[in-house]
Structure 1
Amino acid sequence: EEKKKSQESAKQVQAEVLSAEKALEKADNGNIFYSPKKEAKKKLVELQRQAKKVKASKAKVELSAKRELEEAAREKDKVIKEASSAAAKRQQAEKSFGESEKDEAALQSSLNELEPPKLFFGLF
């Protein structure tokens, strides 16, 4: 949005500069007390300064937008890396959990072989 505004203002100022240049060419030299040509030249210089400021502002907005895009891309890459790392850790944990369940089942079966199960909670 800011980029659009700066482009519009740049076009507007550029049009004003062109208009002022044409006015300067057509201006009368005047006399010692008042010269339309000098006034037109002052206006042209002022508009050129304004155009330069607008151009610098436009460049600043474009640079800011570019930096924001780069920052967003870095953040996106960071999130993707974190997500893939978390997925790998989860997969490793599930594998480890599965192995521990197998080990526990093997231990329980060997314990059952060594010790017969007690009926009625050890009463008999």
Structure 2
Amino acid sequence: MGRVNKPLSAAEKRQMKQLLEDIRKRMIEEKKSTRGVTQRVVAEGDVLRKAEAIVRKMQYVTPYVLANKMEVGIGLAKRILRDLETKGVVKLYSKNRRVQVYVPAESFDKLVKPGAYSYTVEEM
């Protein structure tokens, strides 16, 4: 037959509860510290250069596509694309409330007819 465990005293229960709470707090603090690091990655020039090389080879780019290619988050990919647009590497081709479609600046003139409306960074 199975062995019956001994009951825990109130002091042992309190000690275990405090230990679990401390571990949970440490895990939350670690998650918060890693969040801040990913947001600062955009400032690094090598990330933008890598993104620029990837974008120039593609016909169109969305934040999701760039996030998958560079293995970063979608929010970071959106910031990278906005930075590349201000540098003139890509241009915003189409936009709705869910997704933005960018194309390389070289192929933008082929896709858009003269006089057609296009978005700018300020309108976003």
Q: TM-score, normalised by structure 1?
A: 0.33
| Greater Rg by CA | 1
Instruction: Considering Cα pairs closer than 8 Å and 6+ residues apart, tell me whether 1 or 2 has the greater RCO.
Output: 1
TM-score by length of structure 2 reads: 0.33
Greater strand share, 1 or 2?
Answer: 2
